[in-house]
Chain A
Amino acid sequence: MVLLVIFGLVAICSAICVIAFKNPIHSALALILTFFSQAGLFIALGAHFVAAVQIIVYAGAIMVLFLFVIMLLNLGSLQDTVRQNVGAIKIFVFLLAALLVIEGITVARYVDQNGGVIKDQSLDVVIQRLKDDFKMSDEDIKSSVEKLYGEGTSISNLTSVQVIGLVHSEMGKTERIGTLLFSKFVLPFEVTSFILIAALIGVITIVNRDPQETA
């Protein structure tokens, strides 16, 4: 919980910095910080795999790309990077924020922070889900339970809170994500590869155009 708050604040601050800095390189650095804090947030939420991917992909690849381009275009500090007439814009954005916040709060109240849906499900259903989605065998379940709550605890003896904890911890594990990825989400996975290829080709085409053609 504490982690959540800390990382959250950092994230917000760095995001504001991204907007505020005049030098694009400074903005880029702030963005990297944002990404890192985001990763932290992910870990605090128990999504370890996602956090790792975030760092590798975003902070690693994407930011490098950004920095390359900035340096390539040789953009120095820009004068007056904030446009004049921000009055109206501020109002709208403020409204947007307000709306979204209200919405978020409404949703948040509806969904219980600690455990949510799982709380209402019976033990058997949970176990069944673990087996189906994550393809865990009984031994796997047994070993995870023991790892979490000590030796000799049987799964039927867990309280609901502990069950929630079990699920949460299982959820973020890389093995589990992987299992899901290749069972339920195989098709999107393959399609994504196509997207990547398309992006690749697109980029090369765009960059290799004659400047005269795209006037």
Chain B
Amino acid sequence: MSSTIILLLISPLVGFLINGVFGKLIGKVSSVIACVAILISLVCSVLLFSEVNNKAEHGDVSYFDSSLYEWISAGDLSVEIGIRVDSLTLVMLLVITGVGFLIHVYSIGYMHDDHGYARYFSYLNLFVFSMLILVLANNYVMMFIGWEGVGLCSYLLIGFWYEKKSASDAGKKAFIVNRIGDFGFLLGIFTLFAAFGSFGFEKIFHDAETGHYVKVFGENTLKIATLLLFVGAIGKSAQIPLYVWLPDAMEGPTPVSALIHAATMVTAGVYMIARSSVLFALAETGVYVAWIGVLTALLAATMAITANDIKRVLAYSTVSQLGYMMVGVGVGAYVSGVFHLVTHAFFKGLMFLAAGSVMHAMSNELDMRKMGGLKSKLPVTYWTFLAGALAIAGFPGLSGFWSKDEILHSAWDGGYHAVFFLGLVTAALTAFYMFRLIFVTFHGQSRVEPHVEAHLHESPPVMWVPLVVLAVPSLFIGLILGWGGHDSAFHHFLGDVFHVTKHQEQASSSFPFMLVSTIVATFGIISAYILYSKSSPKDEPENFPMELLTNKYYIDEIYDTVFVKPIKGLSQYGLWRIVDVVVIDFLCVGGVALFTRGVGGLLRYIQTGVVQSYILSMVIGIVLFLGYYLFIYS
């Protein structure tokens, strides 16, 4: 089993190295190498899955946790490179490699005119590698390494077209905002180490349950640690207040948005909390997670209503859905949260790729207002997009329905009634903005400009095949995995990972909830239809709330004034002028020279050529010496 794991991990790394080093030489072949690398990983994941499943059925221990290599060993501090494969890991592995593979294939078509072709694929492989490290880790440090790695790749890929200022700015923004979260994460890791003396999951979770740890901050140790960890998740998974980078991240190529910002990287935060479920449950800090999650969901949904850029709508949607996932893990329904993660990966990934298809057809136009009536021109794209939209809106029987429903149900059961209602409102908004997008883009009169219209065509197979492939699970995976609510196949699979006893058991029947969410979803879709299917978006009212929403509540501007400008000013005037120029250059460097000269100048006077002065020094010495001794012995 371990060789499979290693192969799984190494394959994308090799792909990255080959493409990175020889990219210019091999040109188009790099894409093949990259795809093959991920394919290998995918196959390995499937193999692992079957292995673990077999073991489970035979009653064997169904996970694999071992240390490969001791990286740092300094006294009490020991950091190892270790792997843990359990059901949670497998779920993540399948999602990452599966969706990842499809996106790689899609990229062959999408990026084929780009001159940074090889560089793109090498970055993609590096990303997958980092993400794999993140989910395969058996200790926090290694997870953090993967965490940082995906952050780095996100920066590289968002700013892929670096000649474009907006793109490179977006990349920087992503990285910096992420960093803030990372800081919290690191502090959390340190706290955990201080308390538990180790970074490994097994040890920490075990000791946490038995209460056998150093209470560094008194009784609140676990609370503080988990909150700090959550800060990291806020940054990585774009929650309030660190979500601002995700919409701007749309500057990157669309497949990147699909992979990183829908399916995988942003879910790392959710994964991390799920992995640390033991700690969160014991610390009872899930409530904060849930609240921030639901507020984020609501806020993002409101912003999505007025966005006119297809990818922006999808970006806000992602933030919103991530909020849902946070609600899931926050209320203790860890399996439900992960379930939503899986379904979201499929339908959001699908929608992003479909949007990419639209862009490709529309010669890189993104503004919905310039589209319309594309249904007939781009059939495959349209139907797959529709499938995704129905899924996310929670249309009965489709995947989003199952996963979202479970989360809301658990919220209600857990006593989080307010969260439940807000979640419900958000669901309505989700359906609304999603279908607004569909109607404006694909239905109604065509507002496409003539010269663009000339090039309008369906995407090549290498692009629409992945779309179709993704559409299938988007529609049905919810059914397969989620039938039976808490009794579902998915729950059985993941159940033993989250063996923290909470209010997991279903208290009430799920039928009322299904009914409510269906009503809400239908309401959203119909409203969208009424408002948008016939009329053009130019008819949208121009009053103050609209403006607020359109401008994203001016949050970016607020951040800029409050944080960015002061720091820049401080660096430029305070630190640079004073510290650098004066202190370092003048005082330190110049000072050393002046000092040496001064001392030298003084010492020069001792070296007269006159013998008698030397003798004088001797006499002085003798005087001092004798005086000293007399003093001692008198």
Contact = CB atoms under 8 A, between A and B. Distances in A.
A binds B: yes
Interface of A: 83, 88-89, 92-93, 95-96, 99-100, 102-103, 106
A147 B630 CA distance: 45
B614 to A, nearest CB: 13
A96 B623 contact: yes
Interface of B: 612, 616, 619-620, 622-623, 626-627, 630, 634
23 contacts: A83-B612, A88-B616, A89-B616, A92-B616, A92-B619, A92-B620, A92-B623, A93-B619, A95-B623, A95-B627, A96-B619, A96-B622, A96-B623, A96-B626, A99-B623, A99-B626, A99-B627, A100-B626, A102-B630, A103-B626, A103-B630, A106-B630, A106-B634
A95 B622 CA distance: 10
Given A92-B619, A99-B623, 10 more contacts: A89-B616, A92-B616, A92-B623, A95-B623, A96-B622, A99-B626, A99-B627, A102-B630, A103-B630, A106-B634
Contacts, number: 24
Contacts of B626: 96, 99-100, 103
A89 B630 CA distance: 21
A141 B440 CA distance: 143
B205 to A, nearest CB: 80
Contacts of B619: 92-93, 96
Nearest to B627: A99
A83 B619 CA distance: 17
A99 B630 contact: yes
B113 to A, nearest CB: 85
A114 B160 CA distance: 107
Contacts of A83: 612
Contacts of A92: 616, 619-620, 623
Contacts of B622: 96
Nearest to A95: B623
A21 to B, nearest CB: 18
Nearest to A99: B626
B622 to A, nearest CB: 7
A92 B626 CA distance: 12
Contacts of A95: 623, 627
A89 B615 CA distance: 10
Nearest to A94: B623
A102 B623 CA distance: 12
A99 B620 CA distance: 12
Nearest to B633: A106
A20 to B, nearest CB: 17
A88 B623 CA distance: 13
A92 B627 CA distance: 12
A205 B104 CA distance: 95
Contacts of B620: 92
Nearest to A89: B616
Contacts of A100: 626
A102 B627 CA distance: 10
A93 B623 CA distance: 8
Contacts of A88: 616
A89 B612 CA distance: 10
Contacts of B627: 95, 99
Nearest to B616: A89
Contacts of B623: 92, 95-96, 99
A92 B620 CA distance: 6
B456 to A, nearest CB: 100
A100 B623 CA distance: 9
A96 B627 CA distance: 9
Nearest to A102: B630
A89 B619 CA distance: 9
Contacts of A89: 616
Nearest to B619: A92
Contacts of B630: 99, 102-103, 106
- Between B612, B616, B623, B630, the greatest number of chain A beta carbons within 10 A of the residue's beta carbon is seen for B623
A91 to B, nearest CB: 9
Nearest to A88: B616
Contacts of B616: 88-89, 92
Contacts of A99: 623, 626-627, 630
Contacts of A103: 626, 630
A45 B619 CA distance: 30
Nearest to B624: A95
A89 B634 CA distance: 26
A83 B616 CA distance: 13
Nearest to B626: A99
B624 to A, nearest CB: 9
A100 B630 CA distance: 10
A95 B616 CA distance: 13
Nearest to A83: B612
A10 B623 CA distance: 27
- Between A83, A89, A99, A100, the greatest number of chain B beta carbons within 10 A of the residue's beta carbon is seen for A99
Closest 10 CB pairs of A and B: A99-B626, A95-B623, A96-B623, A92-B619, A92-B620, A99-B627, A92-B623, A96-B619, A99-B630, A89-B616
A92 B624 CA distance: 10
A106 B630 CA distance: 10
A130 B438 CA distance: 133
A88 B627 CA distance: 17
A83 to B, nearest CB: 8
A92 B615 CA distance: 12
Contacts of B612: 83
Nearest to B615: A89
A46 B619 CA distance: 33
A92 B621 CA distance: 10
A105 to B, nearest CB: 11
Contacts of A106: 630, 634
B630 to A, nearest CB: 6
Contacts of A96: 619, 622-623, 626
B621 to A, nearest CB: 10
B166 to A, nearest CB: 79
A96 B619 CA distance: 8
A1 B195 CA distance: 91
B633 to A, nearest CB: 8
A106 B632 CA distance: 13
Nearest to B625: A99
A77 B627 CA distance: 38
A141 to B, nearest CB: 40
